Amino acid sequence: MYNHTQNENGTYNTRCLYCFMTVASSIESEKELDLLEARHICPERALAELLEMEKTIVASRHPN
Bridge partner residues of 5 (DSSP)? 13
Distance, in Å, from the CA atom of 27 to the CA atom of 43, rounded to the nearest integer, reads: 23
Amino acid (one-letter) located at 57? I
Q: Is 24 in the site for Zn ion (CB under 5 A)?
A: no
Distance, in Å, from the CA atom of 14 to the CA atom of 31, rounded to the nearest integer, reads: 12
Q: From the list 2, 18, 32, 36, which residue makes contact with Zn ion (rule: CB under 5 A)?
A: 18
**Identity of the residue, 13 or 18, whose beta carbon is nearer to Zn ion in the bound complex:** 18
User: Residue 16 Cβ, how far from Zn ion at the closest point, in Å?
Assistant: 3
- Residues in contact with Zn ion by CB under 5 A are 16, 18-19, 42
